[in-house]
Structure 1
Amino acid sequence: MIDALVAAGRRLADAGISPGTSGNLSVRDGARILITGTGADLGRLSSESIAVLDSTGTHLSGPRPSKEVAVHLAMYARNPGHTATVHVHSPHAVAVACLPPWSFASAVAPLTPYFVMRVGQAPLIPYRAPGDAELGALLTAHPHPFRAALLANHGQVTSGPDLDDALVAAVELEQACRISLLTDGRRPRLLDDDAIEELTNRSGTTWDSPVGDTSGTMFTR
């Protein structure tokens, strides 16, 4: 598990979506959670960079864990079948997280089939300071199902059945945010509801927000 986290951190750094010492990774291994330590450089992880927690987030061993433990616990609570969570401050995702969301259910519109298949809807979660435990509570309380979210003015978080799946979702969400910014203000053509239904049925992702319905665009703090 530790070797997988080290390799995953290198992949994120190589993809350019984990700048500096920002971001954190975790995997759930039975009753334990392995998470990167606070201030860890994801591109230079080692066994000494990984903290071990119990299922409630209590620190068992290793370095001081990332301050975003509450975010990771919330994603596992939302998606009990998932065993990995990725949180990064990728630049395009952060940029979109500073803008009004496309809808309440998804901050990013259904612009590409790959976003719908690999990520699904990704809501914008109201701002709380990094490390604030309330951020986990807000993730847990959101009424729509999701396996990825944008954290307002902060970054993105994804989870998956395994670490590779969570990584793929993080990279795809960054790409979807980049495309969203490139098409902003140009009346882009979105996938229609029939196309979205076919894609989500095929991939097992979720999309609750009808393309023609933008009534949920108001962002309430």
Structure 2
Amino acid sequence: MTAYTDETAARALIVRTARSLFGRGLTHGSTGNLSVRLADGSLLLTPTGAGLGTVMETELSRTDLTGRHLDGPRPTKEAFLHAAFYRARPTAHAVVHLHSPHAAAVSCLGGLDPANVLPPLTAYYAMRVGTLPLLPYHAPGDSGLGPLAERTARTHHAVLLANHGPVTAGATLEQAADAIEELEETARLHLLLRGHTTRPLTPEQAAALAPALP
């Protein structure tokens, strides 16, 4: 997959994906943001204050790889986070950040392993997410998170922001959305199973399914 070459089609894809994620309760209000990398190297993002259930194709923002606003409405205040992932992962062409309820709930738990928050409970989680590092809390829009996110994204295409929510990158927007949905479902299972003895995949089983993602 190369960067998105048809901007009109990319805008339609962002809006269609945003509506799907919002309509299934994976984010709420004006939370969450999506982006794709265009062929000219610029990023097309959902704007600040926009609900993913109502954002329009004409309302998308454009930034460069530093997060600098180029045109359109003011971008999401987390544009720097998207830019960090793209700089770290040159073959990633889409980033999704949500406040999905179960993943956000897990991000608030104490005693988490910051190197890998969730166990590989299912084969699909092992395939689409792999390992999930936890990044320490930063206030929404705090650009101080950018350098840490960029370093972590060099070796992981998915992260969980403490007391906040997940971020995933993919070669396509569909791939990034699939990964964040699998992450949310595994977070839900993890919470359902708390207090029970679980049988996650073994390290060998998980390694055999590890995602070969950008």
TM-score for the superposition, normalised by structure 1? 0.87
Root mean square deviation of aligned Cα: 1.7
Question: Hey, what does 1:10 align to over in structure 2?
Answer: 19
Distance 1:182 1:24 in 2: 27
| SS, match of residue 181 in structure 1 | helix
Residue among 34, 59, 66 paired with 1:56: 66
CA distance in 1, matches of 2:131, 2:77: 26
The residue type paired with residue 190 of structure 1 is P
Which position in structure 2 is the counterpart of 1:204? Answer: 212
1:114 and 2:136 matched = no
Match of 2:92 in 1: 82
TM-fit CA distance, 1:97: 0.3
Counterparts in 2 of 1:205 and 1:104: CA distance versus 1, 3 Å: farther
Matched residue of 1:72: which SS?
helix
Structure 1 CA distance, aligned partners of 2:185 and 2:87?
Answer: 26
Q: Would the aligned equivalents of 2:30 and 2:50 in 1 still touch at CA under 8 Å?
A: yes
Instruction: Output the amino acid matched with 1:82.
Output: A
- Tell me which residue corresponds to 1:20: 29
Deviation at 1:88, TM superposition (A): 0.6
Instruction: Identify which of 58, 69, 72 aligns with 2:79.
Output: 69
1:9–1:93 Cα change, 3 Å:
same
1:152 maps to 2:158 = no
Equivalent residues of 1:35, 1:66 under 8 A apart: yes
Q: How does 1:176-191 map to 2 (within 5 A)?
A: 176-191=186-201
Distance in 2 of aligned mates of 1:157 and 1:50: 19
Partner AA of 1:98 in structure 2? C
Structure-1 residue corresponding to 2:105: 95
Could you tell me which residue of structure 2 aligns to residue 218 of structure 1?
Answer: none
Deviation at 1:205, TM superposition (A): 5.5
Give the 4+ runs in structure 1 shifted more than 6 A: none
Question: Unmatched 5+ residue regions in structure 1?
Answer: 207-221
Query: Counterpart of 1:167?
Result: 177
**Residues 56 and 148 (structure 1 numbering): CA distance in 2 closer, same or farther, change over 3 Å?**
same
Alignment-mate amino acid for residue 204 of structure 1 = A
- Name the count of aligned residue pairs: 204
Aligned partners of 2:85 and 2:153 also within 8 Å:
no
* Greater mean deviation of Cα atoms: 143-152 or 49-58: 143-152
Give the Cα–Cα distance (whole angstroms) in 2 for the partners of residues 100 and 38 of structure 1.
30
Q: Kindly tell me: are residues 73 and 5 of structure 1, through their superposed partners in 2, closer, same or farther at Cα, counting changes over 3 Å?
A: same
In structure 2, runs of 5+ residues without a counterpart are 1-9
Q: Which moved more, 1:95-104 or 1:54-63?
A: 95-104
What is the deviation of 1:104?
A: 3.1
Shift, 1:55, TM fit: 2.3
Kept after mapping to 2: 8 A contact 1:127/1:153: yes
Identity among equivalent pairs (%): 43
SS of 1:115 mapped into structure 2: helix
